[in-house]
Amino acid sequence: MLIFVDTAKLSEIREAVGWGIIDGVTTNPTLLRAAIEEEGSRSLDAHVREICRLAGRGRPVSLEVMSNDSKSMTEEAKILYKKFNPVAKNVVIKIPVNPSMGEGGECGGLETIAALRRAGIRTNATLVMTPEQALLAAKAGATYVSPFAGRVDDFIRANLGIPFGKYDYFDFSLVSEVARGKLSKYLGEWNGEISGAYGDGEIKKLLDPGGNEGVRSGVELVRKIVQIFRTYHIKTKIIASSLRHPRQVREVAEAGADVATVPISVIRKMLEHPKTKEGVRKFWEDAVKAKYEELFKLKL
């Protein structure tokens, strides 16, 4: 599985690339705004050019459009590609799979992806929350699809009334128990005909935790997309996105994601274990006692 770093901060990209484990960079307008404000870049253009340069050839950099109608998105995508792809030939354009904000235009993302495919511009269908969206984006010709695993987990927990922090691990077993307990309590108070339970909205929501079209976790979302793509030999790559916990990164790897895009803070946590720290400390103490530094002296 490839690892992309999910950031627009130049300092973080520079550091992560230096670790030798980064295969690409994903950005979005929110990340770019935060990076510009923190790092004081002289202009947004210059900042994005430096992101592309730091990533280098062979490491895709996802840059997102701003509009939500197909014509404007296509024009913006071509401008971004023309301006920044020459830096290191690594630009991929992020297109919302459904750019509608409730006023029509649901299929504009698909139309834009198809137009950019014809133009030879690689795309990343973003804000994917269901396997159905991923399938349609792939059919339209997306180079990548980005299922937002963390946001799906947030949606499910919020709908079930479960308090959580942004970087908490989504414990599927525990969430399922909460849903089962709520369902049991609801049915215990049920006064209607049992046949009427089939159409009851609250029961449906609790049987499908969070009411997310049968997707019960972000990792399951990734797993379902992997299964569909492999069944039909779809070449579109799957970027597991919005990952907030090291264990979640492992789980999407087990699920078969092609890529995980991860904040640098989560990558750091992937290296942590108390027994690792204990071992390093013990080896260092013994090295001092053994005067181990003698091994590193060159005797000519």
Radius of gyration in angstroms for the set of CA atoms belonging to the chain, rounded to a whole number: 23
Q: What is the pLDDT of residues 188-226, one digit of tens each?
A: 777 766 666 777 777 777 778 767 788 999 999 999 999
Residue 197 lies in a domain: no
Note down the domain range covering 37.
2-169+213-279
User: Where is 17: in which H helix or E strand?
Assistant: helix 10-18
CATH number of 163's domain: 3.20.20.70
Residue 202 lies in a domain: no
Residue 192 lies in a domain: no
Q: Which residue numbers in the chain have pLDDT < 50?
A: none
Residue 73 lies in a domain: yes
Residue 177 lies in a domain: no
Options 71, 78, 83, 94, the catalytic residue: 94
Q: So what's the pLDDT on residue 193? A: 67
In angstroms, how far is CA 203 from the centroid of its own chain?
30
71 is a catalytic site residue = no
Residue 50 lies in a domain: yes
Residue 110 contacts residue 140 (beta carbons within 8 Å)? yes
Residue 194 lies in a domain: no
Provide the β-strand partners of residue 2: 259
Structure tokens at 35: 């990076």
The whole-model pTM stands at 0.93
The CA distance from 119 to 50, in Å, is 25
Pairing label, strands 237-240, 123-128: unpaired
Number of structural domains (the chain) is: 1
Residue 243 lies in a domain: yes
